[in-house]
Amino acid sequence: MTASPRKPAALRADTFAGLTVALVSIPQGLAFAAIAGLPAVHGLYAVIVGGLVSSLISGVGRLNIGPAVTTSSMVYAVLATVAPDNHENWPALAGALGVLVGLFTLAGAALRIGRFVRFVSRSVLLGFTVGAALLITGSQLAPMLGLDVGRPPTLLGLLIGVGRHAVEADVASISMAALSFVMVLIGGKYAPRFPTPFIVLALSSVALRVLSQAGLSTTLARIGAIPRSPGALLTPWFGGNFTTDLVVGAGAMALVGLIQTLSIAKAISDKQGARMNAGRELAALGAANLATGALQGLPVAGSFVRSALNEVAGARTRVAGVIAAIGAAAITFLAAPLAAWTPTAAIAGLLVATAVGMVDWRDLFRLVRSDRHDRIVLLTMIGCVFVMPIHWAVLVGMALSAAIFMRRAAVLRMTEMISRDGREFRERRIDAHTGKSAITLVQIEGPLFFAHADEIADVLAEIFSRKPSVVIVRMRRTHQLDYTVIAGLDRVVEQFQRGGGVLIVCGLTRAMRRDLIERSSFGARRPELLLTTGGRVFGSALHAVELAEQIVKRRGTDGSRPLMRSVRSGAKAEGAESSDRTEVGEPVQSTADGPETPLDGGITK
């Protein structure tokens, strides 16, 4: 906290900010309940209960947690999938969903999962945002046109339903939705601190009620009565089975919610020069979801809009969030009779304006132009939203992103290091001449895990088949060495040693050397040939070459092959570029790995 809530100035600032956010959160609660296909009051309970509980626990004063457009769209997809023909049971299902989301989030806090959020790519987040915006727009087309097309779980189903009934569109609904859409967009652009959504819905409610009292009939649908007490709202607790879609949907929602909440909390903390406690924020989010789920409210997450408004309005501490929740409850209780007259078309227009504003279009175009893999993830997620519920689309996008990440991270590069005057080395592609000298130096770069065991063994076996006296394997640029790789090495090295060959491994960390001694036969037999890296540039490699020369000198050679492949002899043999490499996987740019990093394509000392 940047100021004590007991100070009058801080309390005044928090009170003003809290009431400002309350005026914005009420129409958002109504609107997000409409996205989820639930009665409006379920969104208001999420605003009040979620905001109050989270503010009492959170350590980021300006963070506002409550119903969010992203999670609401996922709630709709889950409910429409789990109970497509049982709408009266949706509130109970939403409550069960909220409790599951809360439990998953609290488990994530206990497991410190916040540390891994950074591994979720920007393409996944942006793809989800665009997909949610499309789903929101598609789900609101029917109320904007005054139609009832049911509640299909996919965007394609929504569009087909609207298309079949488009000729039945209601002019009054279209006009109301268009007016709401334009006013919210203009207000958001030119008066961001002004509670435009609240004013728009209030004016539309007053207008509809005045028309009704004047005896003028209208075709505009309205949200209906809002109960003032929880007892009047609650349906029996969910008593059905926790289906795969319900559990998977809750897991995906918890993941999206924690990513969104931690992103907002970190941005706020960075601005204030404070340190965010991810575990505490996840505990606040999980507790808020448990509380709202118990009252059958919408699952909650951090809100970009309300958190930004909190900051603009001058909030200083989390007291602002408490006041926002209490203020929303008071306003809802007093204005419930008028709120019942809110036209669903006005809410639909507000939601479409929100969907347009939630996408960072500049970031979207930049990502589409930048990287092919990010573009694939983005377009795949958007395409999935058309044909499957959005919680499955999120999982597909994350799985695809993880696969691309592993493909990039798993790139293995093997090159031959060619000597120049015995003191300098140049990288060269492994080719048909590698292994034909008495001493062969091979460098391996990348993580050595089970996926590369066969590739490494095959390449080394091919080199060993040319019967060099000594093969040096430099592992200075590797980061791990698992048992499958060690077992593969053991197999081919044993055959090489039976033929009289000697293997020296250099550039090892102490842990890697210990693993080779304990888990490999060749390491246990000749531990003196396992060399750890030191502070001197290419120190262990030069030491390995000296050992190899001593071994060759003791054994003697027939003079039919050079001692070690050199830059000059390599150029004569093949006339190829010395910077070429043999790579397993997709080639990527080499990165620095400490004091022994050579310049690609150049000479390294």
Q: Angle 361-370/372-387 helices, nearest 10 degrees?
A: 120
- Give residue-wise pLDDT tens across range 351-375: 888 788 777 788 888 888 877 888 8
- Residue type, position 379, single letter: L
The phi-psi region of residue 273 (left if phi > 0; otherwise alpha if psi is between -120 and 50; otherwise beta) is left
* Tens-digit pLDDT profile for residues 287-345: 999 999 998 889 999 987 788 778 767 788 899 999 999 999 998 888 878 878 888 88
Q: Shortest CA distance to 254 belongs to which of 403, 107, 120? A: 107
Task: For 404, list phi and psi in degrees, rounded to 5.
Answer: -65, -40
Give the CB-side neighbour count of residue 279, counting CA atoms within 13 A.
Answer: 3
Q: Is 365 left (phi over 0), alpha (psi -120 to 50) or beta?
A: alpha
pLDDT at 568 (0 to 100): 56
Q: What is the dihedral of CA 6, 12, 16, 21, to 10 degrees?
A: -10
Give the per-residue pLDDT at 566.
73
Per-residue pLDDT, averaged over 573-578, amounts to: 39
pLDDT at position 576 is: 38
Which stretches of 516-604 are assigned E, i.e. beta strand?
530-532, 582-584, 603-604
Question: In sequence order, what are the residues at sequence separation of 6 or more whose Cβ sits closer than 8 angstroms to the Cβ of residue 587?
Answer: 411, 413, 581
What is residue 407's predicted lDDT score, i.e. its pLDDT? 75
Q: 412 vs 446, 531, 584, CA distance in Å? A: 5, 21, 5
Q: What is the pTM of this model?
A: 0.64
Q: Does domain 411-604 have CATH number 3.20.20.480?
A: no
Distance (Å, whole) CA 288 – CA 300: 7
Instruction: Note the pLDDT of residue 198.
Output: 82
Confidence (pLDDT) at 524: 92
Helix, strand or coil, per DSSP, at residue 139: helix
Q: Would you state the pLDDT for residue 217? A: 61
Helices (H), 388-472: 390-409, 453-464
Separation CA 184–CA 194 (nearest Å): 10
Separation CA 46–CA 328 (nearest Å)? 11
* Per-residue pLDDT at 595: 39
Q: How far apart are CA 104 and CA 91, in angstroms?
A: 20
Q: How confident is the model at residue 597 (pLDDT cuts 50, 70, 90)?
A: very low
Residue of 217 and 517 predicted with greater confidence: 517
Measured CA distances, 14 to 51, 315, 511 (Å): 14, 5, 54
Bridge partners, 532 (sequence order): 508
pLDDT at 228: 63
Statement: residue 2 has pLDDT above 50: no
Q: What is the 3-state secondary structure (H, E, C) of 462-519?
A: HHHCCCCCEEEEEEEECCCECHHHHHHHHHHHHHHHHCCCEEEEEEECHHHHHHHHHH
Residue 510 identity (one-letter amino acid): R
With a CB cutoff of 8 Å and minimum separation 6, the contacts of 365 are: none
The C-alpha atoms of residue 289 and residue 271 are separated, in whole angstroms, by 27
The pLDDT-based confidence of 235 (bands split at 50, 70, 90) is low
List, in sequence order, every beta strand (DSSP E) within 65-196. 65-66
Q: Higher-confidence residue: 64 or 86? A: 64
pLDDT by residue (tens digit) across 182-208?
A: 998 898 888 877 788 888 888 998 988
Mean pLDDT throughout 208-227? Answer: 77
Instruction: Pick the more confident residue, 201 or 422.
Output: 201
Confidence at residue 426, expressed as pLDDT on a 0 to 100 scale: 82
Sign of CA dihedral 120, 284, 252, 267: negative
What angle in degrees, to the nearest 10, is found between the helix axes of 171-190 and 122-145?
A: 140
Statement: residue 588 has pLDDT above 70:
no
pLDDT at 236: 57
pLDDT at 375: 86
80, pLDDT greater than 70:
yes
- Residue 258 DSSP class: H
Average pLDDT along the chain: 81
Rounded Cα distance between 90 and 103, Å, is 20
Higher pLDDT, 394 or 559: 394
**CA distance linking residue 481 with residue 491, whole number of Å:** 16
Q: What is the pLDDT of residue 538?
A: 74
Do residues 468 and 462 touch, judged by C-beta distance below 8 A? no
Any idea how long the chain is? 605
Q: DSSP label at 88?
A: G
The pLDDT of 247-253, averaged and rounded, is 91
Distance CA(261)–CA(281), nearest Å, equals 8
CA pseudo-torsion sign 30, 34, 38, 43: negative
Please, where in the chain does CATH 3.30.750.24 lie? 411-604
pLDDT, tens digit (0-9, with 9 covering 90-100), for 125-170: 788 778 878 887 888 898 899 888 776 777 888 899 899 888 888 8
Give yes or no for residue 586 having a pLDDT over 70. no
